[in-house]
Amino acid sequence: MVDKKITTRIDSLREEINSHNYSYYVLDNPDVPDSEYDRLLNELSNIEQQYPELITPDSPTQRVGATPLDSFSEVQHEVLMLSLGNAFSEQDMSDFDRRVREAVEKENIEYAAEPKLDGLAISLLYEKGLLVRAATRGDGRTGEDVTLNIRTIDAIPLKLRGKDYPKLIEVRGEVVMPKSGFDKLNRQQLEKGEKPFVNPRNAAAGSLRQLDPGVTATRPLSFYSYGIGLIEGMTLPNKHSEMMEKLKSWGMRINPESQVVKGQKGCNAYYEKLAEKRNDLPDEIDGIVYKVDDIKFQNILGFVSRAPRWAIARKFPAQEEMTTLLDIDIQVGRTGALTPVARLEPVFVGGVTVSNATLHNQDEIDRLDVRAGDTVIVRRAGDVIPQIVSVVKSKRKGKPRRFYLPNTCPVCGSETARFEDEAVTFCTGGLYCEAQRKEAIKHFASRRAMNVDGLGDKLVEQLVDEGLIHTIADLYNLDLEQLIKLERSGEKSAKNLLASLEKSKKTTLSRFVFSLGIHSIGETTAQTLANHFLSLENIMNADEEKLLAVPDVGPIVAENLMTFFKQTHNIEVVEQLISVGIHWPKIVKKSQDELPLAGKIFVVTGTLESMGRNEAKAALQNLGAKVSGSVSKKTDYVVVGENPGSKATKAEGLGISILDEKEFIKMLSQ
C-alpha cells in the first residue's frame, strides 16, 4: 500500500508542471525559471521510479520512452480533414468575400484570421480529457497514427485543463518547427556530417514521421491548434473565435497573431500587417487563413468538393522556385574573401525577380553538388540574400563538371589560400588587389597601425575613386595640389594630412607588420614576431620551422605569413614603403630579466573587447610577465573583462591590484 502522502505529492507535482506548461506554451508567459521546472520534473520522475505502479499515461514524465515502431498504422478520420481553397491576389479575396456575402445575405462579414503555418496538419483525439490518439492528415480520409511521437511534443497537453471539456473532442492543428530550432538542428546535422533539412516544414514532417519516438523527442517541434473535428458531449459556441478561446482554456496553444477582422478591408489590412512582420515571426508562414467566424453562417455555406466554402487561404508570394543555374562566377570582397555567386535564369520568387544567388563557399558547393546547367531550387525570404537550397538531380543532363574555386585571384592574379578549419578562400594579394584596395588602405592608416590622422574612410574612398592611389605606398606620393582639388578638401586639411603622413613614417616594426593587413596577424602577434625576429627581413625570410618556434604562432599564422611574403606584388609594395622613408628604431633583444614586467604575475579573467585571452597572455609574456590561471597571494595584477566571475572577487579579498581593460591596454602601451 503506497503512503497517501506519496500519491498526494505526485498529483500535486503533475498539476504544477502542467500549469507551468500552460503558462509557457499557451500563454507565452513563463512563470518559473527553467531550473525550477527541471527540479519539479526530476522530483516527479524520481518518485515514479520508486513507485512505477503510480505512473499514468498522462503524466508529464511520459513524453519519451516508447519502443520504436516497425511502421505506422492507418487511422480513418471520422470527420474529413479538408484542404483549403487558395487566393493569390486581392481580387481573389474580393471574389471569395462576395460569394460569402451573397450566400448568407449579409453585407459585412466577420472573419477569424490567422497565419497559415508551414508545417504538418495533425488530428488529436481526447477522451475524457486524455490524449488517446494522434494522426496525420494523410489524404484527408486516412492518416497515419503518430500518437507516440506526438506525446514527445511539450506544447501538446497529454491531459486537458479544467473540468468543462467534452467527453470526446478531436482538436486539429499544425505541428511546426520554429525557425530558431530549425537553424540549430541544421547546425547539428552539418557537425555530424549529415545532410541538413531544406526548410522547417520538411524538418517538422521528417521529425514527426520517425519510427523511433526517441528521435522525435530530440527535435525542436511545437504545435498550434486551429480548429476541431469530431466533438461529443458539448454544444459548440456560436463563433469560431469563441471555440478557439475554449481550446486555449483547456491547454491548447493558439496562434498569438490570430484576430477577428471585418470585411474584405479588414482581411487586406491583416494580410499587409502579417506580410510586413513575416520574417520576424518565430515560425515560417506561407499565407493567411480566413474563416467565416459565425458557425451558423459556416453551416449555411457548407462545402464544395474537398474544401469548405466558408474558409480560404490567401498565399504569400512563393519563397521557393525552380530555375536553371547558368554559371558560377567569383566575387572578391573587400577583405579578399572569394565568394561563388550563382548566375540564374531569372525567376520570380519571394516577390521579386532573382537572377543571382549566393553559394557562400566551396564547402556549400560540395554539399549541394551544384554544377552549371543544373536545375536548382532557389529560396528568398524577405530581405535575405537569395540562396540555392537544393539541386533537382533528376533533371541533370549528361555529366557536367564539378566547380572548384580558383587557385589564383580573378582580380589580381595572386595566389588564393584556404587554411585548415576555415571555410573561406581568400586572395593573398592584399596590398595589390584592386578588390581589397580601399579596405587595405583604411587598415594601414588606422590608429593602431600607422596612425595617419585625417585620413578617414570617406577620403580613402575619394582617393581610390579618383585614381590617385592604387596601393598603400601611393599615399606617400600625394601632393598638396592633388588633395586640394578633391571635393570638400581645403588647403589646411590637405596640409595637415601631408604632415600626418610624414609623421607616420617613424613607427615601430610591430606596427608596420600589423599595418600590412596579413590575414590572422593581429597586434599581439605582430609584436611577438617583432620581438622574436628583431627585423623585417628576418620575418620575411622565415620558414615554417622558424615561425613555429615563435610563441603564439601556429601552423595557420605561419602559412599566412609565408604565403603573403611569397607574392611578388606584396614584396614590391613593402619595398616601396621602405624607399619612401618608413623606418623604426632597431630592436635590441633584452634578457628576460630586463623586460618591463619581469617577475610580475598576472591573471586574466572575463571577456576583453580588444583582444582574446590568448592574445592578452602573449602580450604579457612578451613583456616578461608570468600568466597564471588562478589567483593567489603571489598574484600581482588581475586583468578584468566583462563577466569576470569569482577570480575578481577573490582578488578584491586579497587586496590584489585589479586592472580594467582600459588600464591594461594603457599598461601594455607604456
Cell of 147: 500518437
Number of other residues whose CB lies within 10 A of the CB of residue 571 = 15
Instruction: Give me 91's grid cell.
Output: 481580387
The number of CA neighbours under 13 Å toward the Cβ of 33 is 2
Angle (CA) 638-640-645 rounded to 5° is 100
Cα→Cα distances 109→230, 238, 266, 291, 363, Å: 26, 14, 10, 10, 54
In a 3-state reduction of DSSP, which class is residue 307? strand
C-alpha cell at 601: 604575475
DSSP state for residue 219 in the 8-state scheme:
S
- φ/ψ region of 639 (left if φ > 0, alpha if ψ in -120 to 50, else beta) reads beta
Among left, alpha and beta (phi > 0; psi -120 to 50; other), residue 476 is alpha
Q: Which residue is it, cell 541538413? A: 196
- Residue 213: in which H helix or E strand, if any? helix 213-217
State the chain's maximal CA–CA distance in angstroms: 101
Strands 337-349 and 352-358: antiparallel
- Could you give the CA distance from residue 228 to residue 231 in angstroms, rounded to a whole number? 8
How many angstroms separate the CA atoms of 416 and 409, rounded?
6
CB 403 within 8 A of CB 342: no
CA distance 257 to 259: 6
Rounding to the nearest 10 degrees, give the CA dihedral for residues 453, 458, 464, 467. -100
What are the φ/ψ torsions at residue 607 (nearest 5 degrees)?
Answer: -100, 125
184: enclosing H helix or E strand? helix 179-191
Question: Partners of 657 in the beta sheet?
Answer: 637
181 contacts: CB under 8 Å, gap ≥ 6: 200, 219, 220, 221, 222
H-type helices in 488-533, by residue range?
A: 491-504, 509-515, 523-533
Q: Which of 587, 577, 583, 529 is nearest to 557 (CA)?
A: 529
Measured CA to CA, the distance from residue 613 to residue 591 in angstroms comes to 25
Q: How many CA atoms lie within 13 A of 430 on its CB side?
A: 27
Identify the active-site residue in 4, 5, 106, 116: 116
- The Cα-based distances of 102 to 88, 97, 308, 493, 601 in angstroms read 21, 9, 16, 76, 86
CA distance 432 to 336: 11
Query: CB–CB of 61/50 below 8 Å?
Result: no
Helix (H, G, I), strand (E, B) or coil at 63: coil
User: For residue 145, what is its C-alpha cell?
Assistant: 497514427
Active site residue 265: no
Distance CA 613, CA 661 (A): 12
How far apart CA 411 and CA 335 sit, in angstroms, is 13
Cell of 592: 628576460
Per the CB < 8 A criterion, the answer to whether 637 and 656 are in contact is yes
When computed from its CA atoms, the radius of gyration of the chain, rounded to whole angstroms, is 33
Amino acid at 254: I
Residues forming the active site: 116
